[in-house]
Amino acid sequence: METSFIKALSEIVGEQHTLSDPESLACYGYDSTPELQSRPGAVVLPGSSEEISKVLALCNGAGVRVTPRGSGTNLSGGSISFDAGVVLQTSRMNRIVEIDEENLTATVETGVITSTLHREVEAKGLFYPPDPGSMNISTMGGNVAENSGGLRGLKYGVTDDYVMGLKTILADGEVLKTGGKVVKDVAGYNLNQLLVSSEGTLGVFSEVIVKLIPKPQAKKTMLVHFPQLEQAALTVSHIIAARIIPATLEFLDRTTIKCVEDYAHVGLPLDVDAVLLIEVDGHPAQVEEDAAGIRAICERHHCSFFQTAAGPEEALKLATARRVALSALARVRPTTILEDATVPRSCIAPMVKLIQDTAKKYDLLIGTFGHAGDGNLHPTCLTDERNPDEIRRAHQAFGEIFEATIAMGGTITGEHGVGVAKKKYLPKLVGESGLRVMRGIKGAFDPRGTLNPGKIF
Amino acid sequence: MDFVKLINCMRCGMCLPHCPTYKETFLETASPRGRVALVRKFQEGELVESEKFLEYVSLCLDCQACASACPCGVNAGELVAEFRCERKQEQGLSTMEDLILRKLVPHPDRLEAATAPLRLYQRTGLQKVVRSLGLLKVFPAALGRMEGLLPKLPEAPLRQTISEVTPAVGEQKGTVGFFLGCVMSLIFSEASLATVELLSTLGYKVITPKDQKCCGAPNMLGHDIDGLKDAARFNTDLFQSQQLDFVVTDCGGCGAELKKYGHHLDGEAAATAFSTKVRDISEILATEAGTLKEKLKPLPLKVTYHDPCHIAHCQGIRSQPRALINLIPGIDFRELPEADACCGSAGTYNIEKPEMSDRVLSRKVQNVQKTGADYLVTSNPGCLLQLKKALSEANPPVKVIHLTELLQMSLNA
């Protein structure tokens, strides 16, 4: 990138917040996506909406592309600049502007870390439910851009269920304010919801207003083993059919169970097909009733083990298996490809079966865990980037898995985003009309194609 | 360097919120994930060892909080240190490094002699004169910082005054070797005396070999792996020649290094056997909680605990010190926010990188103040030095003591 352009950037955000040395560029050439890397031309860390506006106006005018980035935990290559453009990191904008206890909203700058917001609102007896796996480092801006989910999605929904208002900087530097603190708002197109999960292609968020809810009073955690996968899947469906909506309904398959046991020695049996971690929350009486109902359903489906945590400490212990699942898998081989194929809840059993068969067919090690309650599974391929043949087989396997997902009425990505990693599967899912509408929207927001080019479609 | 260790990093970013330098800068180059990427790209020939490269790599405190947080078991702190050791082996030690790491540190008598003038400097009142005249300003900045950190030194180093054998009080339960640690012996001898008193009170015969040498941690810090191996061999032979149930230390840094002797000496049997015997004092005391509790008397103090990196991240010891503090009747224990975040001392980091060290320290001080505690308890001499100075200047000031000093206070209350 030309020195004069870098100088112009540094005049906006300050010299110490403008990076262009080869070492920094190398470190901003990746996010959490396996295999993908590409060095940007420069990195800026603006400290305010005004600075973002000026950076975007400058880049848009000069035909330089901009890729927004929070903490760089994206899993679809969305925060990598593939055309040596400018990476714009929002981390310095990390103020919680306001927690409004009368309207039950929080207004935050988009560099705020998700779990920081959790802590602050929970101290006031309030609750912000979205809890993506990366919540200890992911930024609120990134969560909005990717529409992040998490373990509590089944009962509480995902990020877009909580976004009430956005301050977005458009490609030309103009500011767009959408939504606000009102619960009802039908004035014009619902641009708020359109901007959520736009993956940095429509604008850069500088501020977000999110909805808060009262913190549940009580919680109960249960761990259940199932010798048969089909029975575990039926249990999931029947719990929901019994009008019980657990806050968490997590699943581990046989491969994952083995890896967890090898790594953490938590006492899981190696001869079961599935482990479910179930958590119900709410009013104490309701929690008791739900837990009893769940127990009856699990027993009816021949679970081989059922334990309810006596207190918070035991709950933590029961949750260990699920909590360490990714760690346990990731340690087995050097490279970990974590996907997020999502199917309707009723298709969990055939989907898990299909993943296992596909792994066998391509001679791969794939562990599956995830959010059984909302059908969002994480088939995780344990491989080695130095083995090109195995990597090729892994991609073939995932190709088949995604095809099957679409055939079952599911989606290619439940919470990681399309980015570049899933781009080739999108046309099949949304069709020509879907792509045409999306391209039209992109053109309306960003006619010069400045923002995060090459992502989604 | 084993390349697999580098590619094991899946760049998930889970280390970022635990890295003190990332929290201060938000820069990828100042994060564990970034440092692993830098070292990897150097190995792959994509980056060279430029001035910036060295600056980024050396900003690591080696606190290893990243290792505790990593889902895939990557220890970025250790990888960076290993990388720097390898580079040092290729480049050789400088004259100054050779003087300090080879000719001074491994020889306790020389080390003690070198600190004697400091004792004199404090005792003759010269320190007061220097400080009041502002003479420190004419010293090099690093020397000025070192002077400022120095608390009042004991009359003599503990190694010189302690008896080689301290008998058990009452029935003898076992025999432990006591590893002194240079800074504990030279500066915090009172804490180590408390350690010995607790051990003997609980029925342990304590053997403190006078010939023991520095554990080698300074060599590791100076990236002098050969010097470290010499220290490991010497201390292994010395302690393994005795019949000991455990080797106990009250210095987090020493404990972390001693437990790795087996690894440093490539799995040599004697060194591995020695390492498996090493215990931090809190580990031993925690197993004696029942007996200890009966002997402890009430202390109505508000206390918080700072996890030294070398205790929490390097040795995985977190619950034992807290459990021990809570044994004391009447104690008001308050958990410290971000308790296991580095205090910025990090060996000689506070002298070498004063600006970043101060930023990390100031966050720690603010967190301590949030607890409202009168006492901060910790168990590593580096943290003690760094926090004693900072918290004596805080408003209101907070007293900083070693874990064994607090327990001794309760024992003798």
Domain ranges of chain A: 3-89, 96-214, 216-322, 333-449
Closest to A142 in 3D by CA, of A73, A84, A236, A189: A73
* Residue B246 to chain A, least CA–CA distance (Å): 27
> Would the CB atoms of B4 and A334 count as touching at under 8 Å?
yes
SS3 B401: strand
Flag if B38 and A331 touch (Cβ within 8 Å).
no
Residue of chain A minimizing CA distance to B51: A23
In angstroms, rounded to a whole number, what is the distance separating the alpha carbons of residues A348 and A273?
13
Helix axes B189-201, B403-411, angle to 10 degrees: 50
DSSP H or E run through B258:
helix B252-258
Res B135: pLDDT? 62
Nearest CA in chain B to A74: B12
Distance CA A226, CA A279 (A): 17
Which chain A positions have a beta carbon within 8 Å of B37's beta carbon? 26-27, 30
CB A128 within 8 A of CB A162: yes
CB A336 to CB B13 under 8 A? no
CATH tag, B290-411: 3.40.50.10700
Structure token digits, residue B171: 């029935």
So what's the pLDDT on residue B104?
Answer: 83
Chain B hits for A110, CB-CB cut-off 8 Å, are none
Chain B interface includes A93 (CB < 8 A): no
* pLDDT for res B129: 67
Nearest chain B residue to A24 by CA: give it: B29
Tell me if A216-322 shares its fold with A333-449: yes
Model pTM above 0.90:
yes
- Tell me if domain B158-285 and domain B290-411 are identical in fold: yes
Question: What interhelical angle do B76-91 and B51-58 show, nearest 10?
Answer: 130
Q: Which residues in B lie closer than 8 A to residue A27 (C-beta atoms)? A: 28-29, 31, 34, 37-38
One-character DSSP codes across B368-390: HHHHT-SEEEE--HHHHHHHHHH
Contact A30, B7 (CB under 8 A): no
Residue recorded with tokens 């010190």: B321
Q: What whole-number distance in Å separates Cα of residue A111 and Cα of residue A143?
A: 10
Cβ separation A22–B28 shorter than 8 A:
no
Q: Is domain B3-91 classified as CATH 1.10.1060.10? A: yes
pLDDT attached to residue B140 = 64
* Predicted-assembly ipTM surpassing the 0.90 threshold: yes
In sequence order, the β-bridge partners of residue A335 are: A383
B226 vs A90: CA distance, rounded Å: 44
Domain boundaries, chain B: 3-91, 96-149, 158-285, 290-411
Residues of B in contact with A72 (CB under 8 A): 11, 13, 28
How far apart are the C-alpha atoms of B14 and B84, rounded to whole Å? 24
Of all residues in chain B, the one with the smallest CA distance to A90 is B26
Query: Number of Cβ pairs closer than 8 Å across A and B?
Result: 84
Instruction: List, for residues A7-37, the tens digit of each pLDDT value.
Output: 999 999 999 999 999 999 999 999 999 999 9
Query: What are the chain B neighbours of A16 within 8 Å (beta carbons)?
Result: none
Tell me, yes or no, if A330 comes closer than 8 A to chain B by beta carbon.
yes
Across the interface, whether the CB atoms of A27 and B29 are under 8 A apart is answered yes
Chain B contact present for A23, CB below 8 A? yes
Q: How much is the pLDDT for B147? A: 75
Q: CB neighbours of A435 closer than 8 A, spacing ≥ 6?
A: A426, A427, A457
- DSSP symbols for A274-339: EEEEEEEEESHHHHHHHHHHHHHHHHHTT-SEEEE-SSHHHHHHHHHHHHTHHHHHHTTSSEEEE-
Residues 6+ apart with CB under 8 A from B26: A45, A89, A91, A92, A111
Q: How far apart (Å, rounded) are the C-alpha atoms in residues A306 and A304?
A: 7
Euclidean distance between CA atoms A134 and A141, whole angstroms? 13
A333 in B contact zone (CB under 8 Å): no
Taking CA–CA distances from A134, the nearest residue in chain B reads B14
**b/e map of B155-182 (b: 16 or more CB within 10 Å)?**
eebbbeebeeebebeeeeeebbbbbbbb
3-class secondary-structure state, position B253 = helix
Averaged pLDDT, groups of 10, chain B, 413 residues long: 88 95 97 97 94 95 94 92 87 82 85 79 72 63 74 88 95 96 93 97 96 92 90 96 96 96 95 97 97 96 98 97 98 97 91 93 97 97 95 95 98 94
**From CA B261, how far away is CA B250, in angstroms rounded?**
17
CATH topology of domain B158-285: Rossmann fold (3.40.50)
Which CATH number does the domain A96-214 belong to among 3.30.465.10, 3.40.50.10490, 3.90.25.10, 1.10.10.10? Answer: 3.30.465.10
Q: Are strands A204-211 and A213-214 parallel, antiparallel or unpaired?
A: unpaired
- Residue B308 DSSP class: -
- Give the residue from A18, A137, A382 with the most B CB atoms within 10 Å of its CB, the best one to mutate: A137
Q: Which of A16, A17, A19, A23 to mutate to test the interface with B (most CBs of B within 10 A)?
A: A23
Domain A3-89 indexed as CATH 1.10.10.10: no
pLDDT tens, A364-417?
A: 999 999 999 999 999 999 999 999 999 999 999 999 999 999 999 999 999 999
Alpha-carbon gap: B292 to the closest alpha carbon of chain A (Å): 26
Taking domain A216-322, whether its CATH number is 3.30.70.2190 is answered by yes
CB-nearest partner of B7 from A33, A134, A385: A385
Q: Return phi, psi of residue B3, to 5°.
A: -60, -30
The residues with which A277 forms a beta bridge, in sequence order, are A223, A250
Cα B67 off chain centre by:
17
A334 → closest Cβ in B7, B29, B31: B7
Report residues of chain A scoring pLDDT below 70: none
Long-range interactions of B285-294: CB distance < 8 A, separation 24+: B285/B198, B285/B202, B285/B320, B285/B324, B285/B407, B286/B319, B286/B320, B286/B323, B286/B324, B288/B202, B289/B323, B289/B324, B289/B327, B291/B202, B291/B203, B292/B198, B292/B202, B292/B324, B292/B327, B292/B407, B293/B327
Which residues of chain A lie closer than 8 angstroms to B10, CB-CB?
Answer: 32, 34, 330, 335-336
Q: What is the pLDDT of residue A357?
A: 95
Task: Say whether B19 sits in a helix, a strand or coil.
Answer: coil
Best CA proximity match to A287, nearest among A314, A317, A309, A320: A309
Q: Are A34 and B71 an interchain contact pair (Cβ–Cβ within 8 Å)?
A: no
Rounded (10°) angle between helices B51-58 and B32-43: 140
In B2-51 the beta strands, taken as DSSP E runs, fall at: none
B73 contact residues in A (CB cutoff 8 A):
327, 331
Which of B26, B37, B73 is the closest to A30 by Cβ? B37
Contacts B46 to A, Cβ<8 Å: 26
Tell whether A88 is within 8 A of chain B (Cβ). no
Q: Does A71 touch chain B (CB under 8 A)?
A: yes
**In this complex, which of B10, B34, B50 lies closest to A330 when CB atoms are compared?**
B10
Q: Which fold has domain A333-449?
A: Alpha-Beta Plaits (3.30.70)
Give DSSP secondary structure letters for A409-433: T-BS-SSS--TTTTGGGHHHHHHHH
Q: Who contacts A2 (Cβ-Cβ below 8 Å, separation ≥6)? A: none
Which residues in chain B are contacts of A330 at CB distance < 8 A? 10, 12, 71-72
- In this structure, are residues B274 and B247 in contact, taking their beta carbons and an 8 Å threshold? yes
- Distance between CA atoms of B146 and B391, rounded to whole angstroms? 16
Tokens of B199: 């051990």
Q: Is A92 on the interface with B (CB under 8 A)?
A: yes
Say whether residue A45 is in contact with chain B using an 8 A CB cutoff: yes
Give the helix, strand, coil percentages of chain A, each rounded to 5. Answer: 40, 20, 40
A22 at the B interface (CB within 8 A)?
yes
The chain A residue lying nearest B12, using CA atoms, is A32
- Choose among B28, B50, B71: nearest Cβ to A330: B71
Instruction: Give the residue on B whose Cα is nearest the Cα of A20.
Output: B52
A234 at the B interface (CB within 8 A)?
Answer: no
